[in-house]
Amino acid sequence: MDNVVSMVDAEPFVHHADTRTAVLNFSHAILRNKYHSTVDQVENTIKPFKYEVEIEPHEWSKARKRSAALIDNEIRLCRQALQKVRLSTPKKQLQQAVQFVKGAEKRGLDPLSVQAEIARRNAEQATSSQPEASDAASANSDSHDIAGNNVEDLGYSQYSPRLLRQAQQVLMVQDRLSILHMRRKALASSACASPDNKRFCPETFLDVVAEKLAYNAVLFINYELLQDFFFQFPRELDSNLYYGKTLQQTRDFASQNPHIGQQLKLIERRQRLELVMTRLNELVRQQAAVEQHGRKRSHWSTTASPSYSNPFPGL
């Protein structure tokens, strides 16, 4: 349907709102008519993959190459993310923050929670001049203590929350990189050279299954749904936009396009001017004929002989 929508949003349908709506409506109707049968066929064709997947050696080889390329792309993206963080933060500060985050994780602490606890304590100390506020702050501090009685001893007060988040991101990306490198080596090993060892190469196996599912689904969608759509769509288009339309309806439809409407107006003006020209030419020909006839009569009257008199006087 995205292709149909892009078609009606472009020329010439962009100038015909009613026609655009009609095209979308009968397109939806055609697809909806075959939707359920297509879903049933696709479901029936992929059910056997729940129990067994037959893999040919050439399919395994292609899937292995695609999996390796996908992992290489993920490694490249991780390296770009690390490079982006390292360029935006001084190296020494980032290394120290990473070490502090590692220490906090070993103690079972969340660095950002510790940072929030320190900020809360600093705010409470700023308002500790009032006795009541001081008593409430000490009670709240005992109930919300995250890092223990000596959170400042961990040294997190010198790091900003942004720096701690970047350190956590660096650790996460490094862990992902190590896993990706391990899986890349596993794909390149001899154990993944044969489909018999598919349990050791889940990336390749899942790629094969995804390829088979997509191929069978696309095959039945093309056969059950799109073939009928491609057959019915041009006929519905002709029946809605061409057949059964009067000349005036066709002219009104064409005039909705400003460029076509301007051309039609120019054609009408030309036809009127040609009609006027034809009538003027007829009048000129008639006037010339009348003048020529008058000249002939005057010529006959002047050249007539005077001896021809009335032979029957008295009549």
Give the pLDDT confidence of 113-153 residue by residue, as tens digits: 655 655 565 566 667 645 444 444 444 444 344 444 444 44
The H or E element spanning position 29 is helix 17-46
What proportion of the chain, given as a percentage, has pLDDT over 70?
74
Give me the pLDDT at residue 73, please.
94
Q: Which is more confident, 277 or 258?
A: 277
| Least confident window among 87-91, 154-158, 287-291 | 154-158
| Least confident window among 57-61, 173-177, 244-248 | 244-248
- 289-302: per-residue pLDDT in tens? 888 877 777 766 66
- 20-50: per-residue pLDDT in tens? 777 777 777 877 777 788 888 888 888 888 8
Give me the pLDDT at residue 302, please.
65
* Distance in Å from the first CA to the final CA of the chain: 101
CB count within 10 Å of CB 166 equals 22
Q: Which residues, other chains included, contact 245 with Cβ-Cβ below 8 Å and sequence gap of 6+?
A: 253
Give me the pLDDT at residue 159, please.
67
Give me the pLDDT at residue 125, please.
60
Query: Which residue bears the tokens 């709506």?
Result: 21
- 182-211: per-residue pLDDT in tens? 999 988 888 888 888 888 888 889 999 998
Q: Which is more confident, 16 or 269?
A: 269
Give me the pLDDT at residue 242, please.
72
Judging by beta carbons within 10 Å of its beta carbon (0-12, 13-18, 19+), is residue 270 exposed, middle or buried?
exposed
Long-range contacts of 58-66 (CB under 8 A, 24+ apart): 59/195, 59/208, 59/211, 60/194, 60/195, 60/204, 60/208, 63/204, 63/205, 63/207, 63/208, 63/211, 64/187, 64/192, 64/193, 64/201, 64/204, 66/207
Structure tokens that stand for 10 in this block:
């472009």
Is 44 within 8 Å of 242 (Cβ atoms)? no
Give me the pLDDT at residue 178, please.
92
Q: Which is more confident, 120 or 72?
A: 72
Query: Which residue bears the tokens 């506020």?
Result: 133
Query: Which residue bears the tokens 């409407």?
Result: 261
| Least confident window among 7-16, 174-183, 251-260 | 7-16
What proportion of the chain, given as a percentage, has pLDDT over 90?
12
77, amino acid identity: L
Is 199 within 8 Å of 150 (Cβ atoms)? no
- 206-249: per-residue pLDDT in tens? 999 998 888 888 888 887 777 777 787 778 777 777 777 777 77
Q: How far apart are CA 68 and CA 73, in angstroms?
A: 9
C-alpha distances in Å from residue 15, one per residue of 2, 18, 235, 240, 259: 19, 9, 22, 16, 10
Q: Which residues, other chains included, contact 183 with Cβ-Cβ below 8 Å and sequence gap of 6+?
A: 71, 203
Residue 186: helix, strand or coil by DSSP? helix
Chain mean pLDDT for the chain: 76
Positive or negative, the Cα torsion across 153, 154, 157, 159? positive
